[in-house]
Amino acid sequence: MNILIVGSGGREHALGWKLSQSQSVNKVYYCPGNGGTINNLPYSIIDFSKIMSFAIKNNCLVVVGPEEPLTKGIVNELSDRISIFGPTLEATRLEASKSFAKQFMKQNNISTPEFTSFSDPEKAKDFVYNTDKSLVIKADGLAAGKGVVVCENKEDALNAIDSIMIRKNFGNSGNVIVIEERLFGEEVSLIGISDGNTIIPMATAQDHKRIYDNNTGPNTGGMGSFSPSNIIPIDSFNDIINKIMKKTIHAMKKNNTPFVGFLYAGLMIEKDTQKPYVLEYNVRMGDPECQPLMMRMKSDLFNYIKCSISGTLDTLPPLEWYENAAVCVVMAEKGYPSTFEKRNVIHGLNSTFGDNIKIFHAGTLRNDNEVLTDGGRVLGVTALGKDLTHARLEAYEAVKKIHWGKNREYYRKDIGLNG
């Protein structure tokens, strides 16, 4: 069987790289792919009819990477004709609406910070004026990972309300906001693969969302990640699976919106109590968490995706992982996540890298024999090492070999430092 990966980011490059290693997979196509992928198709990720026609003609199982086609109903439209991996439009509300997700968690006794939703900016500001709690302001809809503002004071919160609801920096995604109590602790990503009845967890990973070192500055789509994370105590892992991941899947089924695909729970392990709270759901694999997870995964991912689609995940064993640690350092264009240049020629991609290094492309395109920057997050330089320290060293040594423009590349220096 062939695979068609829908998407163009580092996540999609990593998924295709891993799936291509399966003995059951003949060829991997990408729609539209990027400068580091091959067998790219010139279709939009929301051109469902062309995706379906190509998949039928070329015997492809379709794996959907990003949230946009999922939240526009690609699975609903195509699943009667082709094998496609991902949640339905109804199930994607877990990510597409933060207010829906928060109410879902509250109704199903899944631990999450206290929250209130607002559609009126003046009422939201009144709430800010009258609370003494530390706050996080979130755009209700999709915002490419940038619609969350962690506030240091009331002024930050009021500015966030203006930015999201009045200036509409995230468009209609900011028509409603969620104001959430800010917790303090460590964030960790837990991702599982589900067939609607069963969920099989992946290894833990940790993302670095904020743009600057020491987790400062605005949120981004992710500036780097590592796996495994030691934030979740070993004796608490199964408890989290049962009380969060399995409970979510069972509640979705009970609501007649069974969840098939990658379910991502962004967790906060609260500093004082060590209690886990769900900050958000994603209805797809995390990016850049995907990159180190695919490097560490020992099992054949294709088998798990196939059984997820057929509803037979309960016939498979737990996923196996290499004991190595993996670190992904995202190289971005200076100015991201605000304004940044494009079309800078990337140098150093043909440098000598060891077998334990993989350069996953994200915001790139190929022009003849050159690879150019084509987005904010450009590359995910990912390394395996015997432990986190060695993986970090390997990743940053590889990063030093790559550059573009006049020192236009930017990356955080502390990825995995406190793992």
DSSP per-residue letters across 148-175:
EEE-SSHHHHHHHHIIIIIS-TTGGGGS
14: amino acid identity, one letter:
A
Q: What is the mean pLDDT of residues 296-319?
A: 98
The first and second tokens of residue 82, run together, are 């082709």
pLDDT of residue 419: 63
Task: Output the CA–CA distances (angstroms, integers) from residue 340 to 7, 74, 358, 377, 409, in the order listed.
Answer: 21, 31, 25, 10, 10
Q: What is the mean pLDDT of residues 348-365?
A: 96
Q: Reduced to 3 states, what is the DSSP secondary structure of residue 87?
A: coil
Residues 87-117: tens digit of each pLDDT: 999 999 999 999 999 999 999 999 999 999 9
**Mean pLDDT of the residues in the chain:** 96
User: Which residues contact residue 120 at a Cβ distance below 8 angstroms, ignoring those fewer than 6 apart?
Assistant: none
- What residues form DSSP beta bridges with 179? 116, 137
User: Which residues contact residue 306 at a Cβ distance below 8 angstroms, ignoring those fewer than 6 apart?
Assistant: 24, 61, 83
pLDDT of residue 240: 93
Taking phi first (over 0 means left), then psi (-120 to 50 degrees means alpha), and beta for anything else, what does residue 66 get?
A: beta
pLDDT of residue 407: 86
Q: What is the mean pLDDT of residues 329-351?
A: 96
Residues 232-244: tens digit of each pLDDT: 877 789 999 999 9
Residues 73-94: tens digit of each pLDDT: 999 999 999 999 999 999 999 9
Q: What is the mean pLDDT of residues 327-340?
A: 96
- Percentage, residues of the chain above pLDDT 70: 100
Give the alpha-carbon dihedral of 238, 240, 245, 248, to 10 degrees: 130
Residues 159-218: tens digit of each pLDDT: 999 999 999 999 999 999 999 999 999 999 999 999 999 999 999 999 999 999 999 999
- Dist CA 143 CA 234 (whole Å): 33
Residues 147-175: tens digit of each pLDDT: 999 999 999 999 999 999 999 999 999 99
376: amino acid identity, one letter:
G
Q: What is the mean pLDDT of residues 296-322?
A: 98
Q: Which of 71, 123, 81 is nearest to 101 (CA)?
A: 71
- What residues form DSSP beta bridges with 223? none
Q: Which of 374, 303, 235, 335 is nearest to 85 (CA)?
A: 303
What pTM does this model have? 0.95
Give the gyration radius of the chain's Cα atoms: 21
Q: Are 75 and 88 in contact (CB under 8 A)?
A: yes
- Dist CA 330 CA 380 (whole Å): 4
Pairing label, strands 148-150, 135-139: antiparallel
Q: What is the mean pLDDT of residues 397-407?
A: 94
The first and second tokens of residue 83, run together, are 């094998």
pLDDT of residue 176: 97
